[in-house]
Amino acid sequence: MTEVDRRVADFESQLKGAGLRMTQQRRLILRVLAEADDHPDAKGIFTRAFALDPTLSLSTVYRTMKVLESQGAIERHAFEDGISRYEHADQEHHDHLIDIDSGEVIEFSSDAIEELQRRIAAELGYDLVRHRLELYGRKKQPARKGGRK
């Protein structure tokens, strides 16, 4: 709770600085995001939040996600299905590997690949501003005696 409360408080001061208000709905959605350990979409966030406050509307979820994103409080990702998914932004940068059988999303980070991307952009005459990197894979089968089947 302490951790979640700290994030909510942090965000409240950010809002103040932008002349925006901390509403019940924003508090609620922020709490749902802070407690999530996955990458829910708007409907998923709505479902979780609606369970705690059945007066919440889906419109407000969408609006709130834009506010949260513009304040840098969350990150938005659209994997292969094109649906926007969200996660809290107070973690170091990482990319995602998606299990194509289960849909599970696994986070990883690699300084080597980050550096390599910067270098590639530089060789093309560009400064790298951001990137999207998603790996789609299938669980390796445990090795069998006699090697690969």
Residue 99 interacting with Zn ion (CB under 5 A):
no
Alpha-carbon distance of 33 to 25, in angstroms, equals 12
Stretch that binds DNA, among 60-68, 106-114, 122-130, 134-142 (CB under 7 A): 60-68
Q: Which of 41, 73, 74, 96 binds DNA (CB under 7 A)?
A: 41
Residue 32's nearest CA partner among 22, 18, 42 is 42
Residue 41's nearest CA partner among 86, 98, 89, 88 is 86
Alpha-carbon distance of 114 to 19, in angstroms, equals 36
Q: Which of 62, 108, 126, 136 binds DNA (CB under 7 A)?
A: 62
Q: Which is nearer to a second copy, 1 or 129 (CB)?
A: 129
- Residue whose tokens read 């005459």: 125
Residue 147 φ/ψ, nearest 5 degrees: 80, -165
Q: Which does 26 bind (CB under 5 to 8 A by kind): Mn ion, a second copy, DNA, none?
A: DNA
Helix (H) or strand (E) holding 95: strand 95-99
Q: Which does 87 bind (CB under 5 to 8 A by kind): Mn ion, a second copy, DNA, none?
A: Mn ion
Q: Which does 43 bind (CB under 5 to 8 A by kind): Zn ion, Mn ion, a second copy, none?
A: none
Site for a second copy in 110-129 (CB under 8 A): 110, 112-113, 116-117, 120-122, 124-129
Q: And the tokens for 143?
A: 């090795």
Cβ 51 vs Cβ 24: under 8 Å = no
Contact positions toward DNA, by CB under 7 A? 12, 15-16, 19-26, 41-43, 55-60, 62-67, 78, 83-84
